[in-house]
Amino acid sequence: MHTLSLSRRQLLRAGTAAAVTAAATPLFAQGRATTLRIGYQKFNTLNILKGTGQLEKALAPAGVKLEWAEFLGGSQLSEALAAGAIDFGHASDGIGVFQQASGKGLAYLAAESPYPRGVGFLVPRDSPIRSVRDLKGRKVVTGRGYNTQYVLIRALEAAGLRYEDIEPVYIVTASDTIAAYQSGSVAAIGLWDPFLAAAQLATDSRVLFDGTGLSGNRTYHFAQPGFARANAELLRTVFSELRKANEWAQAHPADVVATLAPQLKVEPKVLALATERRQYGVVALTPAIAKEQQGLADVFAQLKLIPKPIEVKDAFLDLNLV
């Protein structure tokens, strides 16, 4: 097993090489992979699978090796997938909409169980902001195309406000988000677990609202369609092991914390808070899930956050992987 850290320069080189290759032949037109390059982010089911080491054992008889690449966020991971720097990975619901609208050509392969409490907005405990309506005219940190942005939009709508009624501050990383919060320059910040849990424990804050009743906050698994079709059996093994890891995680939350804390370099108490509000599971794509994801796409199109309307189901690839 190898763990990679992809730099921006490496991503750009990979993107250039992929573009040159695509000019001559379809991307990923090659046959079955002998090395599977998996992209992952902190605190997700692929993290748990990596920590167990079971996927390496399952793929060893087929002679397939693994390379793991950690990313700061889903936008960077989806760029790496599009560039051909990795083969398979996961990203949030919002990132899925943005990557499809931008024409990256990635396919949805499967979804994770809903995780509405894993995304939320914090305000200082002594803040005069007591409801979503109190955010009117104030600076609120989110990420462009992130799950936090959709949850914020839905919360504002439910409170009778428009997105234009607040002043969005777009920040890319969780660390920069927390820095802005601690500087006192913004009224509220949107984060996702484990960063949301970390901020809850490290700052004197309260959750103004989370995704409950607003968003399923699902994670999706993606790949280039050509790669997925050529490696369907390989991916079936991945999802089989992922399902086992999820079942184990659901039944053993304390062991999840013990497994992930040293791997992620995250304090156990942070992971414990994030784990207790999570339902683990990988599920097949369904019309209901397509409708759920279409809600994000429609809202982002209405606000012109994406260049054109899209049909989410067009990017669903049904290979019976789950």
Q: pTM for the full model?
A: 0.81
CATH of 2-114+218-315, one of 3.50.50.60, 3.40.190.10, 3.40.50.2000, 2.40.40.20: 3.40.190.10
All residues at 6 or more sequence positions from 101 whose CB lies less than 8 Å from its CB, including other chains? 297, 300, 301, 306, 307, 308, 310
**pLDDT tens, residue by residue, 96-148:** 999 999 998 999 999 999 999 999 999 999 999 999 999 999 999 998 878 89
pLDDT band with cut points at 50, 70 and 90 for residue 31: low
**pLDDT tens, residue by residue, 235-256:** 999 999 999 999 999 999 999 9
Q: Where are the domains of the chain?
A: 2-114+218-315, 116-210
Domains 2-114+218-315 and 116-210 share a fold: yes
Annotation: CATH topology of 116-210:
D-Maltodextrin-Binding Protein; domain 2 (3.40.190)
